[in-house]
Amino acid sequence: MRAERRDCFHLIEPLLPLVEKPARYLDHEWGACEEQDGPFHVCMVYADVYEIGQPNLGIAILYNELNGCEGISCERAFLPWTDMISLMRERGIPLLSLESASPLASFDVVGFTLAHELIMTNVLEVLDLAGIPQVGEERAEDDPIIIAGGPSAWNIEPMAPVFDAVLLGDGEESIKDVCRRIRDLRAEGVPRAQILRELAKIQCVYVPSLYTAVVDGGSTRWGYAVPIEPGIAPEVVFKRCEPDFASTEPIAQRIVPYLETVQDRLSIEVLRGCARGCRFCQAGMTYRPVRERSLEQIVDATSKALSTCGYDEVSLSSLSTTDHSQCREMLVELGKLVDDKGIRVSLPSQRLDSFGVDMAAAVAGGRKSSLTFAPEAGTQRLRDVINKNVTEDDLERAARNAFENGWRKVKLYYMMGLPTETDEDIAAIPATAARVLEIGREVVGRGRKSGISVSVSVAVLVPKAFTPFQWCGQLPREEVVRRQMHLLESTPKDSDIRITYHDARTSLVEGALSRMGRAGFPIIRRAWERGARFDAWTSEFSFETWVEAARDAGYDLEDIATESFDIDARLPWEHTSPGISKGFLQREWRRALAGVTTADCTMASCAGCGVCPSLGVSNVLQGVRS
């Protein structure tokens, strides 16, 4: 039943002195949309604490789009931290939105952004705390419609029972289409089940309840989803893509948080999509094609946003910012703009092959703390397998360039568990770090005062849907741990090289969640029942809880994560599509095993991924990439 819409801030106000970081729950930030007249009310939820969720660009974009619609209001909600959750449960207080402090269960639509797989138990926690049934089929006629989208919607099957509808791809227009449709149908008194059937007619909207999983000889054990009734829902739901990305609003972040967030800076999305073709990268495959904003738009938007928000740092965000065809000019122009105000321009990470001397000089103004590169694999052979088209020379040139331009700390990101990986590839990681350190010492000098250091972070490959590695099983945990030990043993004894690696157990849970089909939902629900939440937080994660939850549901967690799929099998997520063709992914998998690279179509000819013809779009570049 729909809860009553009313301001309940007085219920949580007495709890504020009793919890950590009460600023998480205050609302009233500069730029927040306080006028929430509706009459149609949507709440966008990031199912983690405020400081993690608030900087999310997806939420910011959808919030602005919906609040710009006549008759629709959009608010935000985040999952309170465990101390606040306990107090709210103790006192029977339901989860509230920020702006109007209304119960989440009073909204017409509740939308989740799924930024990663480890957020799924938090989604269940949000729904339970809000008093909204966790499973779609248990919801009453008048309950909010629960929708979702975001990067982890590309294998949504394990959470299919939860969401009434899932929006695939760019959300700028589709969120408005969906909310307007629900509003109109509600106004006509159309029953909930019929509303969902109508939503399935909108391009990019996947309504899980209209599909069923079929397991047969051509599928994996998870089966594949087919429409229950012919003609009601499409066999394949294609993503929505904004062909004219530059026509979308460049300033998404208008709300200025009070408390320090994980990305406490202005973020301008300078381009969307990446065609480098790294074979492990889900975003690189699912956000295609590449669409750049123009230099003028970026500089103008940055200037306006800095003055309206008051940030002292701007990040030029995208999947690969230094690939922007006008990146050099952009950095120079922004440098002029922010020169005397103590403002810093930053890039999320730098491509080794496109980070030139001029870029190094232009980034970050006077403050040069550390520079991040992602070679991803230790040897050229393995970099060719994963299609990371950078060479040893690129790395050495970029490192020398960075040290000569004033940086003293370099971070290098790698992965472990890549297909065909050997101990030699692992040992090459610290060897490369040592080489980078040596370059730094050559340029800056030796001794403590030089301040040179290299940190290496090694993640575990989690094979994701719609990548050429989607057929690979994840590396077993025991083998990950052995390779991590080998990594440490291969590292030279030098205090200026720091090696860290991801927890093999967390990666295993992420791997299982990335590969399961619809039948995997009982594992997630059981894990939540056993107390799993905030799984992405080291302090809260319990591997044993997940192992036991899988066992309760009749599965072996490691078995799920490490299982390889036949290359011709119908996969659990193939009824949704980012536009990339299965043939292209199969070809890329074979080329990976042969160590053959594939060029970036923004710099060479078309690689035949299938996105442009299937979605009727194309790359949009502002200049020539080099």
Residues engaged in binding another protein (CB under 8 A):
13-14, 16-18, 21-23, 26-30, 256, 258-260, 264, 306-312, 340-342, 365-367
CB of 344 to another protein, least distance (A): 8
CB nearer another protein, residue 342 or residue 583:
342
Q: How far apart are CA 326 and CA 332, in angstroms?
A: 10
CA distances in angstroms from 9 to 17, 27, 611, listed in the order given: 14, 10, 47
CB nearer another protein, residue 18 or residue 488:
18
Our CA angle for 148, 153, 154, nearest 5°, is 160
Q: How far apart are CA 376 and CA 280, in angstroms?
A: 10
Measuring CA to CA, which residue among 46, 205, 209 is closest to residue 114? Answer: 46
CB of 295 to another protein, least distance (A): 24
Q: How far apart are CA 171 and CA 103, in angstroms?
A: 25
CB nearer another protein, residue 312 or residue 478:
312
CB of 14 to another protein, least distance (A): 6
CB of 548 to another protein, least distance (A): 31
Q: How far apart are CA 143 and CA 164, in angstroms?
A: 11
CB of 334 to another protein, least distance (A): 16
Q: How far apart are CA 272 and CA 239, in angstroms?
A: 15
Handedness of CA 89, 91, 93, 95 (dihedral sign): negative
HEC string of 64-91?
HHHHCCCCEEEEEEECCCHHHHHHHHHC
Measuring CA to CA, which residue among 83, 123, 80, 130 is closest to residue 102? Answer: 130
CB nearer another protein, residue 229 or residue 340:
340
CB of 312 to another protein, least distance (A): 7
Strand partners, 147: 111, 165
Q: How far apart are CA 159 and CA 143, in angstroms?
A: 18
DSSP 324: S
| Furthest-apart CA atoms within the chain: distance in Å | 75
CB of 254 to another protein, least distance (A): 12
CB nearer another protein, residue 14 or residue 531:
14
CB nearer another protein, residue 170 or residue 313:
313
DSSP secondary structure letters along 437-451: HHHHHHHH-SSGGG-
CB of 6 to another protein, least distance (A): 18
Our CA angle for 272, 276, 282, nearest 5°, is 70
Q: How far apart are CA 342 and CA 569, in angstroms?
A: 56
> Token digits for 455?
């940190």
CB of 540 to another protein, least distance (A): 18
CB nearer another protein, residue 406 or residue 522:
406
CB nearer another protein, residue 83 or residue 424:
83
CB nearer another protein, residue 15 or residue 66:
15
CB of 257 to another protein, least distance (A): 9
CB nearer another protein, residue 18 or residue 567:
18
Give the SS3 label for residue 566: coil
